[in-house]
Amino acid sequence: MLKYILKRLALSVLILLGVSLIIYVLIRCMPVSFIDSKIAEMSMNGATIPEETVESMKALYGLGDNSFMGIIKGYLNWLGALCRFDFGISFKYSVPVIDVIKQNMGLSFIIALVATFFEFMIAVPLGITAATHQYSIRDYVVTILVMIGISLPSFFFGQILKDMLAMKLGWFPPSGLTDATQTLSGLSLIWDYLRHLFIPILTVVILSIGSRMRMTRTNMLEVLNSDYIRTARAKGLKERVVIYKHAFRNTLIPLVTSLAGLLPSLFSGAIITEQVFDLPGIGNLAFQAMADGDIPFIMGYNMFLALLSVLGVLLADLMYAVVDPRVKLE
């Protein structure tokens, strides 16, 4: 097990190096210089930016020299800063990128965590019942829900829920995180948070359960047609024991594979949903950073997600041995 973990960690380092190179090259290949655009915007607002300041800003992130050796040198300097956990200073917020991420990922983490919990609690049982009652009415109902969850774009469905539950019925606030017209504290403030987050979380849950239900149903059907399931039934075991003790245990293996993307999704933020409901999450900030050309934030944020993705894959591999003791990690 230890040898396997060390090998995967070494491979993860190579993957992160490749991702960092791709991110840096993409930034350098952009047809428009975001720094020049930012300087032009500041100049239009009446600020006078010396040429030395412009050149120093480009040199700070290795964007000044466009020669081959200049690009290599810029990448190595940026990579060296990353190794020291220095993601640079955000243009937009004028503070270290890592501080911006830490200060704003809490809301996105809470939304993603709660939505993921309800997603599994709803999708997995529905997927199992659809598989065990194949071609029945409940199976067709689950299939329809799957198609709805997969087909509807988040900005469209979120706007529908916002219009129905907030604008027309007035049950929940339409946007934001708190009521700016009141000064709340204690339980009143918590209740205000819950009312503002209900529709965004509901949007994420409904649009996420479709793919999870389909995966559970498909894997469950494959397992139910296995020889050992027929043997278990032939022995006279109760159907509940056959399904939840024998069949569902093997269905967990593909579900664990899907958990590899769970870790980055908890911290990346629901960019479109946060935009629709005007939530100050990390996803909303990342979108604004891209629109404003905040190069340090874009590069640092993507490297942060790449690191979480690599860790998520490693944890998913280790979970295989927990779900199925027959799996040996060497």
Q: Could you state, in order of their start, the residue ranges of all structural domains in the chain?
A: 2-83, 97-323
The band of 188, judged by pLDDT with boundaries at 50, 70 and 90, is confident
Integer Cα distance of 134 and 149 in angstroms:
20
The band of 316, judged by pLDDT with boundaries at 50, 70 and 90, is confident
Amino acid at 320: Y
Integer Cα distance of 130 and 132 in angstroms:
6
CB atoms within 10 A of CB 229: 17
- Give, in words, the CATH class of 97-323: mainly alpha
Integer Cα distance of 51 and 57 in angstroms:
10
pLDDT, mean of residues 131-146: 80
**Backbone angles phi and psi of 96, in degrees to 5:** -55, 140
Two tokens, residue 231: 């043997």
pLDDT of 274 > 60? The answer is yes
Query: Residue 154 in contact with residue 273, Cβ under 8 Å?
Result: yes
pLDDT digits over 218-241, tens only? Answer: 888 887 777 777 787 787 778 777
Integer Cα distance of 316 and 238 in angstroms:
31
pLDDT at 60: 62
Integer Cα distance of 294 and 291 in angstroms:
8
Query: Residue 277 in contact with residue 200, Cβ under 8 Å?
Result: yes
The answer, as to whether pTM is greater than 0.75, is no
pLDDT digits over 287-298, tens only? Answer: 777 777 777 788
